[in-house]
Amino acid sequence: MGDSWQPPQWLNDNYLEEVLKKYLQDDSVVIQSIDLKPATASGENYASVMTRIKIEYNTAKEDQLQTLSFITKASLENDPAVSSITLDYDIYNTEMKMYEHILPQMAELLKEVGVQEQLFANTLKVDHEQSTIIFEDLTAKGYVLADRMKGLDLAHAELIVKKMAKFHAAAAVLNERLNHSLEKFDRGLFNRHTNKLGLMWENFTYANANCFVKDCPSLGAPYYDKLMKLKPYVVQYATQAYVDNAKEDFLTLCHGDLWINNIMMKYNDNKELEDLLLVDFQFSNWASPAIDLYLLFTTSLEPQLTVDMQAQDKMLQLYHMVLTFMLAKLKYSGHIPSLKELRAQFEKRKFLACIGILTDHAIANSDKSDEADLLCLVGNSDKAQRFRENCCKNKRHQKVVQELLPYFDSCGLLDLKN
């Protein structure tokens, strides 16, 4: 990405004119100009080529030149180093299925019970031949990314939690209507099929231990030793949190990569949060909703909320209130979990919070993202090691680790399982 960004060669006037004709239902469309720019900077998207397209066009119905803006998201399958990792996660097929079939059905299901609010970007075209999705450019509607360096305050976090409760409820009910077919989405960040991304969590456990914990006066050798012993098991323990589900657990289709850069915000003239929409469904998978909320809490909140377990517990209560209300309204036939049951689900999977702070929080708070790519997370090159070291030397990250590592230790999360 960044300076190396190149739009796909097939993304030309002829291709886009056909897309526009179908979208507008008008065969008289004639494109006059196309402006292509990268839609994301380095460090904001690790597995796709994102292109913002501004199109000027004429139609027989309009005298004035018309303008529309779209986003295309194309795979990096032509990059052998990246595709060797991502193909086993089936991320492109997963996201195409989500945008083409699942998300539209979830939206219709919510409309059936009077929920008109939008939860995600609308899709223009899913092109399986080019492994590409074209969807509305949310920036044209005033949506922006929040500042990941600052993190989200309570108002942002609560709105996300409420939207995720509606998302999870709709997915659970849709799964019943589709004869449990959503349970086939089983290739999340941790899964039974592949662990090629697992090196990322191992690498960052090592980097935290050696670049900060070892020499931190309040942590030092005891925590360093625990992290180094834990390192070979982090993928195993996290995978168990994803896939070892009890019969009584409430499961649903999760977003799978719920962090600040996958949520678009809209503000009013007073800079108050008005709305937000979800994007990027490459890692959507059938699991406990804990995986979404733990990822949100560990990557995307402002520092004081990241370490405030009481505030997060209240957000879980809010999530439960909206979730149970929506499940009942949508006439979910399965067991609707009590707050106590939901809390037990989250407690069982708390290791995801621990590894999320060590890894995902470090990445999300990196101020060296101009060098970032997927291989920086999993590789062993000098560039990759330098990137991880810089992440773990970040003062914002270190402050959170210093406060939360003793908490995770008190929960037994740094100890090896028998």
CATH number of the domain encompassing residue 11? 3.30.360.10
Residues 354, 251 share a domain: yes
Residues 96, 71 share a domain: no
Residue 406 lies in a domain: yes
Q: Where a domain ends, among 17, 45, 75? A: 75
Residues 70, 97 share a domain: no
For residue 26, the Cα-to-chain-centroid distance in whole angstroms is 35
Residues 333, 405 share a domain: yes
Residues 372, 318 share a domain: yes
CA distances from 147 to 30, 295, 367 (A): 38, 17, 12
Residues 38, 156 share a domain: no
Strand partners, 101: none
Residue 129 lies in a domain: no
Residue 404 lies in a domain: yes
pTM of the model: 0.94
- Under a CB-based contact definition with an 8 Å cutoff, are residues 226 and 405 in contact? no
pLDDT at site 358 = 98
Residues 164, 66 share a domain: no
Residues 365, 302 share a domain: yes
Secondary structure in 3-state letters for 188-208: CCCCCCCCCCHHHHHHHHHHH
Residues 171, 47 share a domain: no
pLDDT at site 1 = 36
Residue 86 lies in a domain: no
Handedness of CA 150, 153, 156, 158 (dihedral sign): positive
Residue 2 lies in a domain: yes
Report pLDDT digits (tens) over 266-291: 999 999 999 999 999 999 999 999 99
CATH number of the domain encompassing residue 286? 3.90.1200
Task: Kindly compute the dihedral angle of the four CA atoms of residues 367, 371, 374, 376, in this order, to the nearest 10 degrees.
Answer: -90
Report pLDDT digits (tens) over 55-102: 999 999 988 999 999 999 987 666 677 788 888 999 999 999 999 999
Count the Cβ atoms, other than its own, within 10 Å of residue 153: 14
Residues 69, 173 share a domain: no
Residues 275, 374 share a domain: yes
Q: Where a domain ends, among 75, 104, 132? A: 75
CA distance 199 to 84: 14
Looking at the structure of the chain, the number of domains it has is 2
Q: Which residues lie below 8 Å from residue 24, measured CB to CB, with a gap of 6+?
A: 59
- Under a CB-based contact definition with an 8 Å cutoff, are residues 238 and 352 in contact? yes
Give average pLDDT by consecutive 10-residue segment, the chain, 418 residues. Answer: 63 92 94 90 64 94 92 78 86 94 97 95 91 92 95 98 98 98 97 96 98 98 98 98 96 98 96 95 97 98 98 98 98 98 98 98 84 85 94 97 98 95
Residues 105, 46 share a domain: no
Q: Which residues lie below 8 Å from residue 285, measured CB to CB, with a gap of 6+?
A: 94, 185, 186, 187, 188, 191, 242, 253, 254, 256, 291
- Under a CB-based contact definition with an 8 Å cutoff, are residues 346 and 382 in contact? no
What range does the domain containing 56 cover? 1-75
Residue 85 lies in a domain: no
Residue 132 lies in a domain: no
Residue 328 lies in a domain: yes
Q: Which residues lie below 8 Å from residue 382, measured CB to CB, with a gap of 6+?
A: none
